Every structure is written in structure tokens, then in C-alpha cells.
Amino acid sequence: MSRSNDAFFRELFGSRAARDGNIVRRKVKDVEFWIGREAFLNEVKRRGFRAYENAGQFIVFCNTEPLRRVA
């Protein structure tokens, strides 16, 4: 992982929302520009989190709780 990737992931997963086990989101185009889709998804998986893509955004659930679609 490069230094820029380290900084990106520190900022993302060091956020209060991520630390509290909530969700974080980032624009797909920003992720692809700064670190690349593959590196991003690999780090999400490494942490045991799940990511979804919708309307140009990555939504990351920063916990390992089950997901259930309700509507």
C-alpha cells in the first residue's frame, strides 16, 4: 500500500462514523482517481466490512452485522 493509500484509508476508516461502526460513503470517481477500485474493495474486505455501489457512491458498512433489506 502506498503512502497516499495509507492516508486515504486513515482518513476514511479513522472517521468517527467508521470507528463507531456506522456507514461511510465516497464518490466512486474519487475512489477510482485516488486509490483505485481494486485497492479500495480489497481494504474493505480485509477489514471484514461490506461495500455497495449506488448512484455513483460507494457505501461502506463499517461493521460485521448482518444486512437485511427491508423495502
Q: Domains in the chain: how many in total?
A: 1
Name the pTM for this structure: 0.89
- Residues spanned by the domain of 14: 3-61
Q: What is the CATH number of the domain that holds 46?
A: 3.30.56
Hey, what amino acid is at 46?
Answer: R
The pLDDT tens digits for 14-53 are 999 999 999 999 999 999 999 999 999 999 999 999 999 9
Asked whether residue 48 is assigned to any structural domain, the reply reads yes
Q: Which of 36, 47, 25, 28 is nearest to 2 (CA)?
A: 36
Alpha carbons 8 and 40: distance in angstroms, whole number: 10
Asked whether residue 69 is assigned to any structural domain, the reply reads no
The pLDDT tens digits for 12-25 are 999 999 999 999 99
Hey, what amino acid is at 24?
Answer: V
Instruction: Classify burial at 5, counting beta carbons within 10 Å of its beta carbon; exposed 0-12, middle 13-18, buried 19 or more.
Output: middle
